[in-house]
Protein backbone atom coordinates (compact mmCIF):
# COMPACT_ATOMS: atom_id res chain seq x y z
CA UNK A 1 0.00 0.00 0.00
CA UNK A 2 1.39 3.41 -0.97
CA UNK A 3 1.97 6.17 1.57
CA UNK A 4 -0.92 8.15 0.07
CA UNK A 5 -3.34 5.26 0.42
CA UNK A 6 -2.16 4.64 3.97
CA UNK A 7 -2.72 8.31 4.82
CA UNK A 8 -6.24 8.33 3.35
CA UNK A 9 -7.27 5.08 5.04
CA UNK A 10 -5.99 6.14 8.45
CA UNK A 11 -7.51 9.62 8.12
CA UNK A 12 -10.93 8.15 7.33
CA UNK A 13 -10.83 5.85 10.33
CA UNK A 14 -9.55 8.62 12.60
CA UNK A 15 -12.27 11.00 11.39
CA UNK A 16 -14.90 8.35 12.09
CA UNK A 17 -13.47 8.01 15.61
CA UNK A 18 -13.58 11.78 16.11
CA UNK A 19 -17.18 11.93 14.92
CA UNK A 20 -18.10 9.07 17.24
CA UNK A 21 -16.53 10.92 20.17
CA UNK A 22 -18.54 14.06 19.23
CA UNK A 23 -15.43 16.26 19.08
CA UNK A 24 -16.51 17.82 15.79
CA UNK A 25 -19.96 18.67 17.10
CA UNK A 26 -18.45 20.08 20.28
CA UNK A 27 -16.29 22.47 18.23
CA UNK A 28 -19.23 23.52 16.06
CA UNK A 29 -21.37 24.07 19.14
CA UNK A 30 -18.69 26.13 20.84
CA UNK A 31 -18.20 28.37 17.83
CA UNK A 32 -21.97 28.71 17.34
CA UNK A 33 -22.59 29.70 20.97
CA UNK A 34 -19.84 32.32 20.82
CA UNK A 35 -21.27 33.71 17.57
CA UNK A 36 -24.78 33.89 19.02
CA UNK A 37 -23.59 35.73 22.10
CA UNK A 38 -21.60 38.31 20.17
CA UNK A 39 -24.31 38.83 17.52
CA UNK A 40 -27.02 39.41 20.13
CA UNK A 41 -24.91 41.58 22.40
CA UNK A 42 -22.29 43.16 20.14
CA UNK A 43 -24.71 44.69 17.66
CA UNK A 44 -26.28 46.72 20.46
CA UNK A 45 -23.03 48.25 21.67
CA UNK A 46 -21.54 51.57 20.78
CA UNK A 47 -18.46 52.04 18.60
CA UNK A 48 -15.12 50.74 19.79
CA UNK A 49 -11.87 51.40 17.95
CA UNK A 50 -13.85 52.92 15.10
CA UNK A 51 -15.91 49.75 14.60
CA UNK A 52 -19.67 49.62 14.91
CA UNK A 53 -22.16 46.85 14.34
CA UNK A 54 -20.65 43.79 12.68
CA UNK A 55 -17.13 45.20 12.94
CA UNK A 56 -17.51 45.29 16.70
CA UNK A 57 -18.98 41.78 16.77
CA UNK A 58 -16.16 40.33 14.68
CA UNK A 59 -13.52 42.15 16.72
CA UNK A 60 -14.88 40.80 20.01
CA UNK A 61 -15.40 37.32 18.59
CA UNK A 62 -11.87 37.11 17.19
CA UNK A 63 -10.29 38.04 20.50
CA UNK A 64 -12.39 35.48 22.33
CA UNK A 65 -11.07 32.95 19.81
CA UNK A 66 -7.47 33.91 20.63
CA UNK A 67 -8.02 32.64 24.17
CA UNK A 68 -10.26 29.68 23.28
CA UNK A 69 -8.52 28.14 20.26
CA UNK A 70 -5.23 27.20 22.00
CA UNK A 71 -7.23 25.35 24.67
CA UNK A 72 -9.28 23.51 22.03
CA UNK A 73 -6.17 22.60 20.03
CA UNK A 74 -4.26 21.35 23.05
CA UNK A 75 -7.16 19.32 24.44
CA UNK A 76 -7.97 17.82 21.01
CA UNK A 77 -4.46 16.43 20.53
CA UNK A 78 -2.82 16.31 23.94
CA UNK A 79 -3.88 12.76 24.81
CA UNK A 80 -4.01 11.07 21.42
CA UNK A 81 -0.76 9.11 21.36
CA UNK A 82 -0.47 8.22 25.04
CA UNK A 83 -4.09 7.05 25.13
CA UNK A 84 -3.55 4.84 22.07
CA UNK A 85 -0.40 3.46 23.67
CA UNK A 86 -2.25 2.62 26.90
CA UNK A 87 -5.27 0.94 25.29
CA UNK A 88 -3.17 -1.05 22.81
CA UNK A 89 -4.39 0.78 19.68
CA UNK A 90 -0.88 1.61 18.52
CA UNK A 91 0.23 -2.01 18.74
CA UNK A 92 -2.86 -3.05 16.79
CA UNK A 93 -2.36 -0.37 14.14
CA UNK A 94 1.24 -1.32 13.43
CA UNK A 95 0.46 -4.99 13.16
CA UNK A 96 -0.86 -3.89 9.74
CA UNK A 97 1.28 -2.64 6.83
CA UNK A 98 1.18 0.98 8.00
CA UNK A 99 4.20 3.24 8.40
CA UNK A 100 4.56 5.41 11.47
CA UNK A 101 5.05 8.52 9.36
CA UNK A 102 1.78 8.05 7.45
CA UNK A 103 -0.08 7.27 10.67
CA UNK A 104 1.22 10.33 12.49
CA UNK A 105 0.58 12.62 9.52
CA UNK A 106 -2.99 11.35 9.21
CA UNK A 107 -3.96 11.84 12.85
CA UNK A 108 -2.34 15.29 12.81
CA UNK A 109 -4.25 16.32 9.70
CA UNK A 110 -7.59 15.11 11.07
CA UNK A 111 -7.16 16.90 14.39
CA UNK A 112 -6.33 20.17 12.67
CA UNK A 113 -9.16 19.80 10.12
CA UNK A 114 -11.74 19.07 12.82
CA UNK A 115 -10.90 22.40 14.44
CA UNK A 116 -10.34 24.57 11.35
CA UNK A 117 -13.22 23.47 9.10
CA UNK A 118 -16.05 24.39 11.53
CA UNK A 119 -14.41 27.77 12.09
CA UNK A 120 -14.12 28.31 8.33
CA UNK A 121 -17.88 27.72 8.12
CA UNK A 122 -18.98 29.69 11.17
CA UNK A 123 -16.98 32.88 10.56
CA UNK A 124 -18.36 33.66 7.07
CA UNK A 125 -21.80 32.55 8.27
CA UNK A 126 -21.57 35.10 11.07
CA UNK A 127 -20.89 37.81 8.50
CA UNK A 128 -23.78 36.68 6.27
CA UNK A 129 -26.19 36.67 9.23
CA UNK A 130 -25.17 40.19 10.20
CA UNK A 131 -25.50 41.40 6.63
CA UNK A 132 -28.83 39.73 5.82
CA UNK A 133 -30.64 39.80 9.16
CA UNK A 134 -29.38 43.09 10.59
CA UNK A 135 -28.44 45.02 7.46
CA UNK A 136 -24.87 45.48 8.65
CA UNK A 137 -21.84 46.20 6.50
CA UNK A 138 -19.36 43.34 6.97
CA UNK A 139 -15.57 43.90 6.85
CA UNK A 140 -14.81 40.75 4.85
CA UNK A 141 -11.11 41.54 4.84
CA UNK A 142 -11.08 41.31 8.63
CA UNK A 143 -13.05 38.05 8.46
CA UNK A 144 -10.38 36.57 6.18
CA UNK A 145 -7.60 37.90 8.41
CA UNK A 146 -9.22 36.33 11.48
CA UNK A 147 -9.64 32.96 9.78
CA UNK A 148 -6.01 32.80 8.61
CA UNK A 149 -4.57 33.90 11.96
CA UNK A 150 -6.86 31.54 13.88
CA UNK A 151 -5.88 28.63 11.63
CA UNK A 152 -2.18 29.29 12.29
CA UNK A 153 -2.89 29.38 16.02
CA UNK A 154 -4.72 26.06 15.82
CA UNK A 155 -1.83 24.48 13.90
CA UNK A 156 0.71 25.35 16.57
CA UNK A 157 -1.68 24.33 19.38
CA UNK A 158 -2.29 20.90 17.86
CA UNK A 159 1.44 20.43 17.24
CA UNK A 160 2.29 21.26 20.86
CA UNK A 161 -0.50 18.96 22.06
CA UNK A 162 0.87 16.08 19.99
CA UNK A 163 4.35 16.78 21.33
CA UNK A 164 3.12 16.52 24.92
CA UNK A 165 1.07 13.42 24.11
CA UNK A 166 4.09 11.67 22.58
CA UNK A 167 6.73 12.64 25.13
CA UNK A 168 4.60 12.28 28.29
CA UNK A 169 3.30 8.73 28.67
CA UNK A 170 1.09 9.35 31.72
CA UNK A 171 -2.24 10.85 30.66
CA UNK A 172 -2.83 12.72 33.93
CA UNK A 173 0.60 14.37 33.79
CA UNK A 174 0.04 15.22 30.14
CA UNK A 175 -3.28 16.89 30.98
CA UNK A 176 -1.70 19.00 33.72
CA UNK A 177 1.12 20.03 31.38
CA UNK A 178 -1.38 20.99 28.69
CA UNK A 179 -3.34 23.19 31.09
CA UNK A 180 -0.11 24.81 32.26
CA UNK A 181 0.95 25.46 28.66
CA UNK A 182 -2.37 27.11 27.87
CA UNK A 183 -2.32 29.20 31.06
CA UNK A 184 1.26 30.29 30.34
CA UNK A 185 0.38 31.38 26.82
CA UNK A 186 -2.61 33.38 28.03
CA UNK A 187 -0.78 34.83 31.03
CA UNK A 188 2.05 36.13 28.86
CA UNK A 189 -0.37 38.28 26.90
CA UNK A 190 -0.10 41.26 29.21
CA UNK A 191 -0.03 41.09 32.96
CA UNK A 192 2.79 38.57 33.43
CA UNK A 193 5.10 40.61 31.20
CA UNK A 194 4.17 43.84 32.97
CA UNK A 195 4.86 42.09 36.29
CA UNK A 196 8.30 41.10 35.08
CA UNK A 197 9.12 44.69 34.24
CA UNK A 198 7.79 46.09 37.52
CA UNK A 199 9.04 43.43 39.92
CA UNK A 200 12.45 42.54 38.50
CA UNK A 201 13.12 45.55 36.26
CA UNK A 202 13.61 43.31 33.23
CA UNK A 203 14.97 45.04 30.15
CA UNK A 204 12.25 46.00 27.64
CA UNK A 205 14.06 44.07 24.89
CA UNK A 206 13.66 40.83 26.84
CA UNK A 207 9.98 41.56 27.41
CA UNK A 208 9.47 42.20 23.70
CA UNK A 209 11.29 38.95 22.90
CA UNK A 210 9.14 36.92 25.29
CA UNK A 211 6.02 38.48 23.82
CA UNK A 212 7.14 37.75 20.27
CA UNK A 213 7.88 34.10 21.12
CA UNK A 214 4.32 33.63 22.38
CA UNK A 215 2.15 32.63 19.39
CA UNK A 216 -0.99 33.72 21.24
CA UNK A 217 0.40 37.24 21.59
CA UNK A 218 1.42 37.29 17.93
CA UNK A 219 -2.09 36.29 16.90
CA UNK A 220 -3.61 38.94 19.16
CA UNK A 221 -1.42 41.70 17.73
CA UNK A 222 -2.16 40.59 14.16
CA UNK A 223 -5.89 40.90 14.83
CA UNK A 224 -5.56 44.20 16.69
CA UNK A 225 -3.60 45.65 13.79
CA UNK A 226 -6.40 44.65 11.43
CA UNK A 227 -8.91 46.65 13.48
CA UNK A 228 -6.70 49.56 14.53
CA UNK A 229 -3.59 50.00 12.33
CA UNK A 230 -2.14 52.52 14.82
CA UNK A 231 -2.57 50.12 17.78
CA UNK A 232 -3.70 53.04 19.93
CA UNK A 233 -5.19 50.64 22.49
CA UNK A 234 -1.67 49.55 23.48
CA UNK A 235 -0.34 53.07 24.08
CA UNK A 236 3.33 53.85 23.33
CA UNK A 237 4.11 50.16 22.77
CA UNK A 238 1.41 49.96 20.15
CA UNK A 239 2.67 53.12 18.46
CA UNK A 240 6.19 51.65 18.35
CA UNK A 241 4.99 48.38 16.82
CA UNK A 242 2.79 50.20 14.32
CA UNK A 243 5.70 52.33 13.17
CA UNK A 244 8.29 49.54 13.06
CA UNK A 245 6.24 46.66 11.68
CA UNK A 246 2.92 48.04 10.55
CA UNK A 247 -0.30 46.03 10.07
CA UNK A 248 1.25 43.88 7.33
CA UNK A 249 4.34 43.03 9.38
CA UNK A 250 2.24 42.12 12.40
CA UNK A 251 0.01 39.95 10.22
CA UNK A 252 3.04 38.12 8.84
CA UNK A 253 4.38 37.62 12.38
CA UNK A 254 0.97 36.37 13.55
CA UNK A 255 0.91 33.75 10.81
CA UNK A 256 4.56 32.88 10.16
CA UNK A 257 5.85 32.35 13.71
CA UNK A 258 2.98 30.07 14.85
CA UNK A 259 3.40 28.02 11.65
CA UNK A 260 7.19 27.79 12.06
CA UNK A 261 6.86 26.84 15.73
CA UNK A 262 4.12 24.34 14.94
CA UNK A 263 6.14 22.74 12.12
CA UNK A 264 9.20 22.46 14.39
CA UNK A 265 7.22 20.85 17.21
CA UNK A 266 5.54 18.50 14.77
CA UNK A 267 8.86 17.41 13.23
CA UNK A 268 10.47 16.79 16.62
CA UNK A 269 7.41 14.81 17.70
CA UNK A 270 7.44 12.75 14.51
CA UNK A 271 11.06 11.76 15.08
CA UNK A 272 10.27 10.70 18.64
CA UNK A 273 7.16 8.82 17.49
CA UNK A 274 9.15 6.89 14.88
CA UNK A 275 11.73 5.76 17.46
CA UNK A 276 9.43 5.31 20.47
CA UNK A 277 7.94 2.14 21.90
CA UNK A 278 4.42 1.11 21.01
CA UNK A 279 3.62 -0.10 24.52
3-class secondary structure, 279: coil
Of 46-50, 84-88, 101-105, 152-156, minimum mean pLDDT range: 46-50
Question: What value does the mean pLDDT of the chain take?
Answer: 81
3-state SS, residue 188: coil
pLDDT tops 70 at residue 222: yes
pLDDT at 205 (0 to 100): 67
State the average pLDDT over residues 207-221. 81
State yes or no: pLDDT of 204 exceeds 90: no
Q: Which residues are CB-neighbours of 264 under 8 A, at least 6 positions away?
A: none
Q: What percent of the chain has pLDDT over 90?
A: 29
**Over the stretch 263-276, which tens digit does the pLDDT of each residue have?**
999 999 999 999 88
Q: Which pLDDT score, from 0 to 100, does residue 48 have? A: 44
Domain ranges of the chain: 3-275
7-50 pLDDT per residue, tens: 999 999 888 888 887 777 777 777 777 777 766 665 555 444 34
Give residue 152's pLDDT.
96
- Give the C-alpha separation, 115 to 65, whole Å: 12
Taking the model in full, what pTM does it have? Answer: 0.88
28: exposed, middle or buried (Cβ count in 10 Å: 0-12, 13-18, 19+): middle
Distance CA 111, CA 19 (A): 11
What is the percent of the chain where pLDDT is above 70?
A: 78
Amino acid sequence: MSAKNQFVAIARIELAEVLRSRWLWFCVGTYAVLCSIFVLVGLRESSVLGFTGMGRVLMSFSHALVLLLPLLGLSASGQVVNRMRDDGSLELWFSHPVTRGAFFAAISFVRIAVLVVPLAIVLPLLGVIGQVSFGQSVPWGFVTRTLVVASALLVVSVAIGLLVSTFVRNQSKALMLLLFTWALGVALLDFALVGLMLQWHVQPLLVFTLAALNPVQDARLALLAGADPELGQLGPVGFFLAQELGPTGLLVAGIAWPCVLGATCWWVTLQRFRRGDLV
